[in-house]
Amino acid sequence: MSSKRKWDQAAPDGADGDGPVKATKTEEGKTAAEAAAAAAAIAAKIAAQFASAPSSGGLGSGSKDPHDGDFTHDIDINDVRNRYLLTKGSTQQQIHEETGASVSTKGTWYPDRSKATEKDPPLYLHISATTPEVLQRAIDKVNELINLDMGSLVEDKKDRLRVRRKWPEEKIPVGIDTIRNFNVRAKVVGPQGMFVKYIQQETGTRVQIKGIGSGFVDQDTGHEHDEPMYIHVTGPDEGQVARAKVLTEDLLEVVQAEHAKVKVMLQHQQMELHQAQLQYAAYSAYAVCILSFSASPPLCALTCDSPTILSRSVSSV
């Protein structure tokens, strides 16, 4: 892929330097350190201006996005029945054309919202506008779509039970066998799950490791899925799921390459161990033969399996 990935970024420049970096002079005669301090002061001033701008807080409250308008609002749609419609790009474009406000999807969809955290909030819409009037029109439009009756999504004619519309999904096989000193699941999810979280944040999908050895227990059966480990991707939009699949396959290529290196290293270690065992066995047989010959020649003849070892033992005496 052309862009840098979360799982193989290079270390920052200068991280492996041999010594302190000398300050260089700027055109005005100031050192680089002084110039950096001046730049930091300017950045702090700009940040203070953004912080003072009016905003109607919400789920995504915190540092202001520089691309936002002066007025923003967040609407929680994690448990909204029409969230699939609200997260579609065409729907958000329609809201923009009708109201002038920008709408984007944020957060992660949680079937059980109690698992959401402040860092990873539940699914919501982020609305940005240049005036309070534009913002209110967009809010009214979103609420109108939330309350829109789309009828039964799926209905069983036997018992008339409503079932949620199934989101688009992908199952990507991990395809890596378990070997010593290589935890497949840990390598895929990354430190503290950062690789999986990265894919979710970049695509707005839900990514889970399932199957044998995944540690994922199905709530209905109380056991892991009885199939080889795989990555399950679901999302409200097929485009989002397709993007997540590309990132997932890219991640697996990196993990598979690392797995291949570890496998070769283990094979070399196994060969060295086998050779050492053969050498030790030959030395032990030779030592037993010497001891047996010293104690009783007939016993030596019975103990030494190799004529070569026996002849060496006799000649040495």
Q: What is the pLDDT of residues 64-100, one digit of tens each?
A: 666 677 899 999 999 988 888 899 888 999 999 999 9
Closest CA relative to residue 184, chosen from 256, 279, 235, 116: 256
CB-based burial label for 182 (10 Å; 0-12, 13-18, 19+): middle
Select from 2.60.120.260, 3.40.640.10, 3.30.1370.10, 3.90.78.10 the CATH code of 166-261: 3.30.1370.10
More reliable by pLDDT, 51 or 276: 276
Residue showing tokens 């990196």: 254
State the Cα–Cα distance between residues 141 and 128, nearest whole angstrom: 13
Look up the pTM and report it.
0.39
242-299 per-position pLDDT tens digit: 999 999 999 999 988 888 888 888 888 878 887 888 888 777 777 766 766 665 555 4
Q: How many CB atoms lie within 10 A of CB 300?
A: 21
Q: What torsion do the CA atoms of 78, 214, 171, 156 make, to the nearest 10 degrees?
A: -60
Residue 90 amino acid letter: S
13-31 per-position pLDDT tens digit: 444 444 444 444 444 445 5
Region 157-178 average pLDDT? 71
CATH class of the region 34-149: alpha beta
Closest CA relative to residue 105, chosen from 119, 118, 122: 122
